[in-house]
Amino acid sequence: MKIVVIGDVHSNLPALEAVMKEIRENIKPDAILFAGDAVGYGPWPGETIDILKENVDFGVLGNHDAGIVGKTNINDYYDAVRYVINWTTDILTNDQFAFLDRLKYIHVDDRAHCLLSHGSPRMPERYDYIFNCRGVNRLYDVAPFLQKVNFVGHSHYTNLFLMTGNNQSVELNISGGEVDISTIPNPVVCVCGSVGQPRDGDPRSSFVSYDTEKQILRYHRVEYDFELTINKIKALRLPASFGERLRNGC
Q: Which is nearer to Fe ion, 37 or 109 (CB)?
A: 37
Q: Alpha-carbon torsion 63, 187, 156, 93, what sign?
A: negative
- Site mask for Fe ion (CB under 5 A), range 24-63, x = bound: -------------x--------------------------
Whole-angstrom Cα distance, residue 36 to residue 162?
A: 23
Residue 244: CB minimum distance to Fe ion, A:
17
Residues 6+ apart with CB under 8 A from 45: 11, 38, 39, 88, 91, 92, 96
Alpha carbon of 170 to those of 44, 154, 162, 164, 174: distances in Å? 38, 20, 5, 7, 12
Residue 220: CB minimum distance to Fe ion, A:
18
Residue 63: CB minimum distance to Fe ion, A:
7
What is the total count of residues that contact Fe ion (CB under 5 A)? 2
Q: Which is nearer to Fe ion, 169 or 197 (CB)?
A: 197
Taking CB under 5 A as the criterion, which residues in 129-168 touch Fe ion? none
Residue 166: CB minimum distance to Fe ion, A:
32
Q: Which is nearer to Fe ion, 64 or 232 (CB)?
A: 64
- Site mask for Fe ion (CB under 5 A), range 175-204, x = bound: ------------------------------
Q: Which is nearer to Fe ion, 99 or 157 (CB)?
A: 157
Q: Which stretch binds Fe ion (CB under 5 A): 4-12, 52-60, 90-98, 203-211?
A: 4-12
Residue 26: CB minimum distance to Fe ion, A:
25
Residue 119: CB minimum distance to Fe ion, A:
9
Alpha carbon of 134 to those of 1, 129, 150, 154, 173: distances in Å? 32, 10, 16, 16, 14
How many residues belong to the chain?
250
Query: Is 8 an interacting residue with respect to Fe ion (CB under 5 A)?
Result: yes
Residue number, nearest CB to Fe ion: 37
List residues binding Fe ion (CB under 5 A): 8, 37
